[in-house]
Structure 1
Amino acid sequence: MPHFDSDAARLNAARRTRELAELRDHSGNAARGPQRVDVVVIGAGVTGAGIALDAATRGLDVLLVDAHDLAFGTSRWSSKLAHGGLRYLATGNVGIAHRSAKERGILMETTAPHLATRLPQVTPVLSNYSLVGKIAPRLGFLAADGLRIAAGTSGKTLPRSRTVSTKTMKELCPAVRTEGVHLGYVNNDGQLIDDARLVTALARTAAGHGARVLTYCRATDVTSDGAGGGRVTLTDTLAGENSGENSEDATPFQVEAGVIVNATGVWAGGLDPQVKVRPSRGTHLVIDAATVGNPTGALMAAVPGHTSRYCFILPGQLGRCYIGITDEGLDSDGIPDVPDVPESDVRFILDVINQALETALTTDDVIGAFAGLRPLVQFTDSGDDSTADLSREHVILRGKNADGTENNLVTVTGGKLTEYRLMAEQTVDLVSSILRNNGISAGPCVTASTPLVGAPGADGTVGVTRSDVAGLPTSMVDRFGLEAPAVLHDAQVDRPLEPVGTVDGQAVDVVRAELEFHITHEGALTVDDLLDRRTRIGLVAADRAACEATAQEILDAVLPTLV
């Protein structure tokens, strides 16, 4: 595995400008032709970033590009859960369930224990439930315990499920309805502090192992002949803006690769016509956590008429809770970059979750909402509009030329966030076999034992202990892990521990030093990057408005220093 370089793990505007110039200058030299790399990965969501890390740690020369920012698409719109696959076990998908449980354990115990923690999930049992309705959740949770054991995950990481009293339910979820409730069940699953932070950590760890990471770099005109590799045209979409480039740098240039990986998720069909993705919209509502008593556990409410679908109230960072989720099939034509949230989704979620609450929530309690598009691969046209029960299996396909022969475009799509590492491993296994035919060798997969930046044992934080983060804001440690001391140590911005904004007399739980670190180390180039992805301040419009000026001030102060 290549040596990890802490300086190389810093993503910022200066590095981006330098790497773009190197690729562009190489492409513009007629004698040399376009820069050639082993692998170009298109799409910097959790799957693409995971593939870049896997390939880089196997010793391959990797270029990761995205038309927007890290985690711009589906990867930032999840429930922020590291699922153990219970739902898929209930529907008979034992393979997905077992894989999910194993990958959850790797995430929580090795690769990102600073970003993935235990979340108790509370299911109240109402007296008017049928016998099956009363017993089925408990049986499911016992099966989930078995999955956890089979996956090798410690009982300290995820304690076994249990039957609890209404008092215990109230302690975990103060807003839970207790009338007609005699007991409840508690199951433990994994929860991410934030999905976009996982993607950022993956991309930075990949960069530390030698990968080049270019955001706001659109890939078009992907061609592959199946023999020598392929070629992709790249365009810097920020040229002339605040990233530091000149407007003439917007000229497209080309890069050659042994293999091109299409990891664009729900948009995969745009690069590979043999792939037909059927989007499914998953909507979440955002509420103030105080509205439901600041829960420490997730509250589950069954969707009427379904045995394996639930809505959740999930405690989150920044004093918020997320409530979801819907599962609505969409037309695959004209897939939006940022999906809208229809009123029908809001009503559906509130109707379901209010069954489990003492006091019903209304639309006045909803302070934000977001929707993500799941990439469900459709092999046949069944004519069925429902996507709720379609398999979440991922697919990895090698592209084909017009004559039916295989080329060197590999597409990976579908699947679940929790299985990103496995999807990446299987994709790079195929990539490695293709490259081997061209005389390029790759090492074995090591990502199951490679901690991400900020995790205990990660390269770059060796020697940093829990005592070094004592006294720092808890929320900062939650977001940065053992890199939290560096966030303050490296800060040059004025008033580093001052909150970035105040709403209704309450300080937003993000400090100025964090925004600087996002710019100097995590590749943030715009105010949107800072507020919508590196932090999740932008999920609530009022919070975003209160922090925009500070974000712009720090961006303007820090970017010129990155030379």
Structure 2
Amino acid sequence: MPGPGPADGAGADALSPARRAADLDAVAGAAVDVVVVGGGVTGAGVALDAATRGLSVVLLERSDLAAGTSRWSSKLVHGGLRYLAHGELGLARESARERAVLMRATAPHLVRPLPFLVPDAAGRDVTALAELGGRLGDAVRASVPGGRRSLPSTRRVDAAEVARATPGVRGRRGGVVFWDGQLVDDARLVVALARTAAACGARVVTGAAVRAVDGADVRVELDGGEVLTLRARVVVNATGVWAQRLAPGIRLSPSRGSHLVVPAARLGSPSAALTVPVPGSRSRYVFALPQPGGLVHLGLTDEPVPGPVPDEDPAPSEAEVQQLLDTVNRVLVDPLTRADVVGSYAGLRPLVLPASAGTGPGGATADLSRKHLLEWDGPVLSVVGGKLTTYRAMAADAVDAVVARLGRAAPRSCTARLPLVGAAPRVALERVEAPARLVARYGTEAPAVAALGTEPVVDGHPETVGELRFAVRAEGARTVADLLDRRVRIGLVPADRERAVPVAEQVLAEEL
């Protein structure tokens, strides 16, 4: 199996402009084992799993890697405490297992332990329940391979520790801390998966929309208008909330999860995720999640989305904005206002309707299971549902089904042990000679990124021109949106994005 190569745009993992052109030439009229439709975390995971088992793979994405739901998450790799509240022990164990895989083996450079603090200011009954849930989560974590030592244990903390970790909380009272995993960037995980798949032989083509599947023929329209056809023995439909376009029989009930972006200073620059229960719920919380660059992401909602799913990015509703602010303000000394919101985003969850449900979308999406579904329709296998944390398990299940359909003798999935591009043990990452911020985003590739330029894209912000150049040379970025909205994430704050556009345009002019 080929491994990740040098990060100079010429390695086997580099999604460079030249690589895309070569892959397009090779794909047109070709016959392959598997065509994966959708370049989010599920599709990239399927492409990697299939390629590591020796199948010929083409991944087609209509826009850009992580352009859909996969970049709009809470950026958490979580152990599934909510699933325990719903009695879904199996799903909680799967989440805890996959979290341990990411933190210890496949992407330790992208995932870090994050404390979640539930303050007594929210009510002692609330923290008592949080402590019970946290200890149950600890027990589940200890029951899965690699989980026991992956995170600290749940514990009560005193008022002084609450003040240090979440300075914006009112009152001098204690609280409860439990731990989970945080991704430095959800879109970066998807890019790492796609590049690792490319290193293992997959062809990854963005700007390629699948318009029809007719038997073995897959009709593809490129973003320049050109149409090509290739033949696939199996098509994996990993398009999330858009899955019904290739598989009309799939029954989904999408829900919207929204976040607000606020300056961390408005909350006292917390080091822990402030956790406040949604009024009237025993399993839903609003989180104030500290982020790199002096920001906090405030989420998460769970609102049903009726009707056809549009191609455009969703946006938080006014009611969701107010709900998020009202909930977190219950425990803050200095309440947040809408004037504090410097950005916002929303994503759509592809929740699967159970067979027993009615004909319309469900109204209580928060109660729908996050289990994934595999369903065949002729040569098309749809994999929907699930969540970012369990992408690898979803992908392994899907490729198991593909291998069985092909009648191929292929090895079992090895992706639980396969480091993604840039990954290394934490002790090795600590020795990488590059700024810590770059190591947290690029792992062992950080020196190569730093060598491409350290000047800031926007004055006063840490993102560098070198990151933009690396995104074009190695990460498949082709547009301003690719660069600012999915590679360095400046686009999460519209005012910063506006200032960054001329720099991104200049880099593209020089690199393409």
Aligned match for 1:203, one of 172, 181, 194: 194
Q: 1:178, 1:215 → 2: CA distance?
A: 51
Tell me the residue number matched to 1:69: 64
Distance 1:89 1:128, change over 3 A: closer
Superposed displacement of residue 290, structure 1: 1.4
Correspondence 1:233 to 2:219 = yes
Number of residue pairs matched?
A: 505
Aligned-pair identity (%) = 46
Tell me the residue number matched to 1:341: 316
Q: 2:402, 2:350 → 1: CA distance?
A: 22
Superposed displacement of residue 137, structure 1: 1.2
Tell me the residue number matched to 1:121: 116
Correspondence 1:521 to 2:474 = yes
Q: Is the 8 A contact 1:41 1:62 kept in 2?
A: yes
Q: 1:360, 1:216 → 2: CA distance?
A: 43
The 3-state SS of whatever aligns with 1:356 is coil
Tell me the residue number matched to 2:447: 485
The 3-state SS of whatever aligns with 2:335 is coil
Q: 1:308, 1:127 → 2: CA distance?
A: 14
Distance 1:4 1:543, change over 3 A: closer
Q: Is the 8 A contact 1:288 1:319 kept in 2?
A: yes
Correspondence 1:556 to 2:509 = yes
Superposed displacement of residue 142, structure 1: 0.6
Q: Is the 8 A contact 2:81 2:133 kept in 1?
A: yes
Superposed displacement of residue 52, structure 1: 0.3
Q: Is the 8 A contact 1:116 1:192 kept in 2?
A: yes
Aligned match for 1:450, one of 400, 418, 442: 418
Q: Which has the larger radius of gyration?
A: 1
87-96 vs 379-388, greater mean Cα deviation: 379-388
Q: 2:129, 2:445 → 1: CA distance?
A: 43
Tell me the residue number matched to 2:457: 500
The letter for the 1-side match of 2:265 is: A
Q: 2:246, 2:108 → 1: CA distance?
A: 35
Q: 2:37, 2:366 → 1: CA distance?
A: 28
Superposed displacement of residue 127, structure 1: 7.8
Superposed displacement of residue 178, structure 1: 2.2
Superposed displacement of residue 138, structure 1: 1.0
After superposition, give the CA deviation of every residue in 1:173-215 in whole Å (9 maximum; x if it has no partner): 1112225xx3200001000001000000000000000000000
After superposition, give the CA deviation of every residue in 1:217-249 in whole Å (9 maximum; x if it has no partner): 01011123xxxxx22101110x2xxxxxxxxxx
Any unmatched runs of 5+ in structure 1?
28-34, 225-229, 240-249, 400-406, 459-463
Correspondence 1:85 to 2:49 = no
The letter for the 1-side match of 2:373 is: V
Cα root mean square deviation, aligned: 1.7
The 3-state SS of whatever aligns with 1:475 is helix
Superposed displacement of residue 457, structure 1: 6.3
Aligned pairs (5 A) from 1:368-379: 368-378=343-353, 379=355
Superposed displacement of residue 15, structure 1: 1.2
The 3-state SS of whatever aligns with 1:377 is coil
Distance 1:5 1:481, change over 3 A: closer
Tell me the residue number matched to 2:488: 535
Aligned match for 1:469, one of 432, 436, 442: 432
The letter for the 2-side match of 1:385 is: G
The letter for the 2-side match of 1:258 is: R
Correspondence 1:421 to 2:399 = no
Any unmatched runs of 5+ in structure 2?
none
Correspondence 1:177 to 2:167 = no
The 3-state SS of whatever aligns with 1:371 is strand
Tell me the residue number matched to 1:30: none
Where has structure 1 moved over 6 Å in runs of 4 or more? none
The letter for the 1-side match of 2:469 is: E
The 3-state SS of whatever aligns with 1:452 is coil
Tell me the residue number matched to 2:374: 396
Distance 1:5 1:137, change over 3 A: same
Tell me the residue number matched to 1:40: 35
Superposed displacement of residue 12, structure 1: 1.7
Distance 1:340 1:467, change over 3 A: closer
The 3-state SS of whatever aligns with 2:150 is coil
